[in-house]
Amino acid sequence: MPEIVKPTITYTGINQQIPYDDPDATILETSISNQIPHLHECGGNGQCTTCRIRVIDGHSNLSQRTFKEIETARARKWDPSIRLACQTYAKGDVSIERLVWTSAEINKLQLETIPEGSAEERRIAILFCDIRNFTKMALNNNTFDVAHILNRFYTVIGDPILYNNGIIYQYVGDEIVGLFGVSGGMREKNCADAIRAALGMYYAIERLNRMELVDFDLTIRTGIGINFGKAYIGKLGHPKHKQLAVVGDPVNTASRIQDYNKTAGTNILISDSVYRALPDGFLDIGKTFEVQLSGRDENTKLFEVKGFLEQDIQFQLQSSLDYLLRNEEEFAAEFYDRVFEISPETRTLFKKNMKDQGRLLTHMLGAIVYSLSRPENLKLGLRFLGESHSRYGVTEAHYPVVLQALMATIENKLGEFSSPELLSAWRTALSMITDEMRQFSK
């Protein structure tokens, strides 16, 4: 009898080779069952494109594109080497590379829907954030310190844009510009996303000042302006180097609103068009202004944003995630210790290396918090996760155990930052996640 050689999948980025045991499993399912992190926001439903791969070798060993994949590939002008792992099966050896890793990359996927060589009118929320005292810091400190702080700074200030489904349009000098709603969506959501990002940036900078910049004898101040309106968006420029360009009156106005913070002595200002998009009782508004911004004939109404009037769960989770997962390994180790203490029999369910398992869990928590800003994919993703857990032998009764262990770990890790509001936000979100997954237990 000739020996049957099983095909293999090679992941070029991490240089790992795994056998393709089950011909009925897609490439995505094979990654997951081998604990290779592979984003799949919509749970393998061919909708989100985060599972996309580039095929380096063995193209002819792959199944044909499904209808869903044909449509996606056509709309986004993909070349044949790009495939959706959740729609693709292998018949022989293949080498692949996973293409989407971070929230920044997921957000950039929105750019694929933007026309090339021409501009299209889209209704978007535009956020300008000005960073004061920044140049002073660059001049007064040595290069290593500046580079370190710059990196920290761009992370804490960029993450809130990305967590809220925004795109970082540009960093210009002391300014960062975020766009919300580039690929469509409701005005209310796009404006709420921009405000959540603004508050996230403001608190992140406050924390940076308090915890990391004290040694530099420096306090960074920010001024944020948000406007909503129709702007022209396109990928324009040299044929070999096209860049995202966003132009129009609302963009200039957003910049001027930001500037007005200096006169008004405020931190976050929004225009009337943002304010009107949001329901009554949503925002805690401070002062209001009626001003003539430079370059405009008529007066513009501006509103100072101080926070949300009611608890905003997404905001609470986003603002604590970075702190909670600052040491992912420790978080995961404590969590699993607690699970096994409450329910020792669950230990036998875990077949693989607990360190990799921990990495996957914390990665997934981050992805879930992030995808709360894109709820259309979240439910599908959780259904997929619930079904795979049912196959691992997880039953309905296990979910409350995990919820209890996660909450205890979160409370302990939050330490001095813990508060009843923060814990209740985490409990609400995690209960929703576990309830959703639990429905798919056998």
| Contacting positions for ligand HEM (CB under 6 A) | 32, 346, 349-352, 357, 360-361, 364, 385, 388-389, 392, 394, 398-399, 402, 430, 433-434, 437
Closest CB to ligand FES among residues 54, 301: 54
Shortest Å distance, C-beta 38 to ligand FES: 9
User: Could you say which of ligand HEM, ligand FES, none residue 48 binds, taking C-beta under 5 to 8 angstroms by partner kind?
Assistant: ligand FES
The binder of 428, among ligand HEM, ligand FES, none, by C-beta within 5 to 8 A per type, is: none
- CB of 51 or CB of 194, closer to ligand FES: 51
Instruction: Name which of 196 and 389 has its Cβ closer to ligand HEM.
Output: 389
- Please report, as residue ranges, which positions from 35 to 54 form the binding site for ligand FES (by CB under 6 A): 40-42, 44-51
Lookup: tokens for 200: 């996230």
Question: DSSP letter string over 257-311?
Answer: HHHHHHHHT-SEEEEHHHHTTS-TTSEEEEEEEEE--TT-SS-EEEEEEEEESS-
31 binds ligand FES (CB under 6 A): no
Task: Please enumerate in sequence order all residues whose Cβ is within 8 A of that of 276, keeping only pairs 6 or more positions apart, or say none.
Answer: none
Measured between alpha carbons, how far is 298 from 284 in angstroms, rounded to an integer?
26
126 binds, among ligand FES, ligand HEM, none (CB under 5 to 8 A by kind): none
Query: What is the distance between the alpha carbons of residues 4 and 2, in angstroms, rounded to a whole number?
Result: 6
Q: Which of ligand FES, ligand HEM, none binds 27 (CB below 5-8 Å, type-dependent)?
A: none
- The least CB distance from residue 374 to ligand FES, in Å, is 11
Comparing CA positions, the residue from 386, 390, 370 lying closest to residue 433 is: 386
Residue 38: CB minimum distance to ligand HEM, A: 9
Between 18 and 349, CB nearer to ligand HEM: 349
d(CA 40, CA 334): 26
| Residue appearing with tokens 């101080």 | 306
106 binds, among ligand FES, ligand HEM, none (CB under 5 to 8 A by kind): none
Residue closer to ligand FES by CB (options 269, 437) is 437
> CB of 390: closest distance to ligand HEM in angstroms?
10
Q: Supply the minimum distance, in Å, between the C-beta of residue 377 and ligand HEM.
A: 15
> Given phi > 0 = left and psi -120 to 50 = alpha, else beta, which region is 369?
alpha
Contact partner, 433, from ligand FES, ligand HEM, none, Cβ < 5-8 Å per class: ligand HEM
Nearest distance from C-beta of residue 35 to ligand HEM, angstroms: 6
**Coil, helix or strand at residue 141:** coil
Number of residues in the chain: 442
Q: Which of 196/383 has CB closer to ligand HEM?
A: 383
Q: Which residue has the tokens 């989100």?
A: 48
Site residues for ligand FES, 69-128, by CB under 6 A, read 84, 86
> Least Å distance between CB 25 and ligand FES?
14
SS3 content of the chain, % helix, strand, coil (to 5): 50, 20, 30
Q: Encoding tokens for residue 272?
A: 């009337």
Phi and psi at 180, nearest 5°, equal -130, 125
Residue sitting closest to ligand FES (CB): 86
Burial 146-180 (b: 16+ CB within 10 A, else e): beebeeebeebbbbbbbbbbbbbbeeeeeebbbbb
First to last CA, the chain: 40
306/379 with CB nearer ligand HEM: 379
Could you give the 3-state DSSP secondary structure of residue 230? strand
Q: Nearer Cβ to ligand FES, position 84 or 233?
A: 84
Applying CB under 6 A, which residues contact ligand FES? 40-42, 44-51, 84, 86
